[in-house]
Amino acid sequence: MSDKPWLDKIKAIVGQQYGKVYAWDHVNQPMIRQWCEVMGITNPLYLDEAYAKTTEFGQIVAPPAMLQAWCLEGLHMNNYPPGSTDENPYEVLKRFEAHGFESVVAVNSDLSFARYVHLGEKLYYTTILNDVGDEKVTALGTGYFVTLVMRFYSEQANGADEYVGQLTFRVFKFAPHQKPTPQTDDAAPAVPKILRSKPGISQDNAFFWEGVKARELRIQQCQSCEALQHPPGPVCQHCQSDELSYIVSSGKGSLYSFVVMHYPEVPPFEYPNPIGLVELAEGVRMVTGLEGFAKGELAIGSEVELVFNEFEGELTLPMFRKVGA
């Protein structure tokens, strides 16, 4: 028992299972093809029936990472296929809201697979409220980590539905810190400044960050097939060679896509916060912060150029700005 009876009531529903949410469509080739196109995946196991027949699967299978896509509601919120549950698997979030924890941020998501799914299978998932953590104080505010697990199944005619994989989804449900009011008392303790996260540097991407220090935007290049790739990896995505080097980008590119973050406002970023997927002149794409665009000015295809920005005097990041800004 905690000293919060309302929290005990919430924790009492941990383990609760919610009913089936069906996929709108059976596993099908057009969705696989479109998903692969968007993701830049050309593996013939997913796309070429003649090739797939020569594999251990004997037929086309869907990319495992597509699992969640089959059971999404579509363009409109809560538009689930007939037969799906009308229970709300997210009721726990509403309960926290009733106690002042109104904000939410997704923390992490893990997808795991039991087997490949193939054309014609009908999928559904059920949801389990897996865990509600103890109260935590974070940079965002005070709140609770909530973990939901969606277990995906393939419906079988004999009723023995087969488990095919699961998605673990953790969110932080929190009450944001109050904005500090300006202090007039010089003795008041300083509010600690939240800094930008430092990059995770590994053997695979060290060259990239050394380049940033030297004010170069380096793109990984395969020495065997000369293909370029970003983000950097341990092997070439095209020929699997581990003989990798890099070229230095011209820093010119265009906006392939973008999103503007408005909420939640997470320090230390400024809002609205435009984030772009820039297609470099060299042909690879890079997720990056954007600057120099006035409100409403962001457009797919806009010409952008590289700029190096320094933060807190100790972190340099490559970003892109509107040409001429």
Binding site for Zn ion (CB under 5 A): 222, 224-225, 227, 236, 238-239, 241
Residue with tokens 């999928």: 123
Closer residue to Zn ion, CB minimum distance, 156 or 224: 224
Closer residue to Zn ion, CB minimum distance, 175 or 247: 247
The CB-of-40 to Zn ion minimum distance in angstroms stands at 15
The CB-of-238 to Zn ion minimum distance in angstroms stands at 4
The CB-of-158 to Zn ion minimum distance in angstroms stands at 46
The CB-of-33 to Zn ion minimum distance in angstroms stands at 25
Count of all residues that appear for the chain in the document: 325
Dist CA 174 CA 135 (whole Å): 9
The CB-of-229 to Zn ion minimum distance in angstroms stands at 8
Closer residue to Zn ion, CB minimum distance, 214 or 239: 239
The CB-of-282 to Zn ion minimum distance in angstroms stands at 15
Closer residue to Zn ion, CB minimum distance, 34 or 245: 245
* HEC assignment per residue over the chain: CCCCHHHHHHHCCCCCEEEEEECCCCCCHHHHHHHHHHHCCCCHHHHCHHHHHCCCCCCCECCHHHHHHHCCCCCCCCCCCCCCCCCCCCHHHHHHHCCCCCEEEEEEEEEEECCCCECCCCEEEEEEEEEECCCEECCCEEEEEEEEEEEEEECCCCCCCEEEEEEEEEEEEEEECCCCCCCCCCCCCCCCCCCCCCCCCCCCCHHHHHHHHCCCCEEEEECCCCCEECCCCCCCCCCCCCCEEEEECCCEEEEEEEEEECCCCCCCCCCCEEEEEEEECCCCEEEEEEECCCCCCCCCCCEEEEEEEEECCCEEEEEEEECCC
Closer residue to Zn ion, CB minimum distance, 237 or 309: 237
Nearest 5°: the CA angle 179, 184, 189 is 65
Closer residue to Zn ion, CB minimum distance, 60 or 222: 222
Closer residue to Zn ion, CB minimum distance, 239 or 299: 239
The CB-of-222 to Zn ion minimum distance in angstroms stands at 3
The CB-of-240 to Zn ion minimum distance in angstroms stands at 7
Closer residue to Zn ion, CB minimum distance, 17 or 224: 224
